Amino acid sequence: MFDEKKMKATFDQVHASDALLTEVLEMMPNNTNQHIHKPHRIARTLLIAAVLLCVLAGTVTAAVSGAVRVNGDIAGIMDSWFGSSGDYASGSAIVKYDEWGKLSMNIPAWSRESLDMDVAERLVASYLYTLEGNTVTKGGFTYTIHAILYDSNTGAVMVCWSVENPNGLGEYGLSPNGEVFLLEGSAMRWVVGGRNYLDTVNSTDTKLYISSFGVASDDELWARFGVCNDPENGKYAKEFDEQKIILPRSDRGGMKALTFNDNITVSPVAIRFDALEESADLEELIIAYTDGSEYVVFSDSTFVDNTTYGVDSSQGYVTYSFNRIVDVDKVSAIVVNGEVYAVN
């Protein structure tokens, strides 16, 4: 099991000081200090799924062909993406204002739900796949891709992977909601998805299981793993020994999805808004079910964020991935900024 007390850099979910939380936010990639759920604006030509750095000089590229159906612990993989097991199933909002009344810190509340495996099997499980030749070993670290889930309706991508080193993993950081990220002195190197969350159920002191979330463009999907050759400079060093892995897309086609207002698509794992003006501001999103229950995906006014990732490409569309599986067979409507949209 994972022992947080032995970690080099860890941050308490509830009792961390304001100074430490501020430090955490400053260290995190794509600083989310103001609105953690707001999509990160990127050019369409960049990848976010597995993802965003240009290929560095000297990087070795290993094209991996062949999508293979996952035969392992499907329930465990699905739970790491969409369930409530582990140490970060929920958390209260941490909101601070400065002396002028301006919002200076916003870590929204979040809540995960227990995985309904019947729903997962019916709507999602058959779209999981893995790779032949899915392991990279660099500088004592072994990186393994265990499963990939790609939703062609919304472009959302989930990757379950691990990094292992029998001599220890060195430094890394954890945000209050379980997001794991590299620190200045981190020897590990990875670029997988836009956000990466620690699976504390399966992680140990020498092996981390990580759930990554991103959004793919129309180009190939890829991940990059490696080691820093200049540990004194850590993540700011210029020399890395890295390997790029191509992530082939499954040929299964798209999951079952719903459309609203002709420009909104809801799949079991994500939502996509098309034909939006660049200035469009999504402040609240709620999914309503036929039994009267609701899933608050995010709400600025109540400081809630139940997404795992959100991104737009400045080309008129926005995608958010969910922190639970949405049973699209039981959705009655969605509410966007207070306006109700029925299923087409």
pLDDT digits (tens, 9 = 90+) for 275-321: 776 556 889 999 999 999 999 999 998 999 999 998 876 667 889 99
Angle at 143 between CA 324 and CA 114, to 5 degrees: 15
Q: What is the pLDDT of residues 39-96, one digit of tens each?
A: 332 222 222 222 222 222 223 333 334 445 565 678 899 999 999 988 888 888 787 8
pLDDT at res. 16? 39
Going from the N-terminus, what domains does the chain have, and what CATH number goes with each? 4-83+119-247 (no CATH), 258-342 (2.60.40)
Query: At 246, is the pLDDT very low, low, confident or very high (cuts 50, 70, 90)?
Result: confident
Mean of the per-residue pLDDT values of the chain: 76
Distance of CA 63 to the CA centre of its chain: 23
Query: Which ranges constitute the DSSP H helices of the chain?
Result: 18-27, 74-82, 117-123
Strand-pair category, 270-273 with 156-164: unpaired
pLDDT at res. 218? 59
Please check the confidence at residue 221 and state whether its pLDDT lies above 80.
Answer: no
Looking at residue 203, the DSSP 8-state letter turns out to be -
Q: What is the pLDDT of residues 123-153, one digit of tens each?
A: 998 888 887 778 888 889 999 989 889 898 8
Q: If you search the block for the tokens 């790779």, which residue do you land on?
A: 131
CA-CA distance, 245 to 235, in Å (whole number)? 20
CA-CA distance, 317 to 277, in Å (whole number)? 8
> Among 168-177, 195-204, 269-278, 307-316, where is mean pLDDT lowest?
307-316
Mean pLDDT over residues 243-258, rounded? 75
The top-scoring range by mean pLDDT among 66-70, 233-237, 328-332 is 328-332
